Amino acid sequence: MQRKKPLLVTLRATQPSVIELTTGETVQLDRVGLASSGRVAERHGPLLRPGTTRLDLAIGEFCFKTLSGAQLRVVHGGVEATTNGSGKGTPPPATAPQGDRGDSPDGEQPTLTVE
């Protein structure tokens, strides 16, 4: 059985925005901040349950991982979305070790649909 490869989505809000995010699994939205050690991901709000969630985003950068893909709709404001497969923007480094436990580099990758 081939494992799914996680999709890392980075959202850049260029102005205060409202989005609707639809996922097939529980995800954690993190806000990307700067620390003396570089870029770090900090939890932003509660876990997002499967289905559609409306979120208010302040200006800044956010990220989340998903194994089942996601759909993003910008209700209003300005949000740019990139994925780890797009080659644009480097998301923060993983805070958990990778390897035999967790995110495997092999497998098929889900997609992000932006409306």
Cβ contact 13:44 at 8 Å: no
The token duo for 115 is 């409306």
CA distances from residue 80 to 89, 95, 107 in whole angstroms, order as listed: 11, 23, 26
pLDDT at 91: 47
**Domains of the chain by range and CATH?**
1-83 (2.60.120)
pLDDT at 106: 57
pLDDT at 92: 46
Enter the pTM of the model. 0.75
Given a cut of 50, the residues of the chain with pLDDT beneath it are 86-101, 103-104
Beta strands in 1-115 (DSSP E): 7-23, 30-35, 38-43, 51-57, 60-66, 70-83, 112-114
Cβ contact 110:4 at 8 Å: yes
pLDDT at 2: 62
pLDDT at 105: 53
Q: How far apart are CA 12 and CA 39, in angstroms?
A: 14
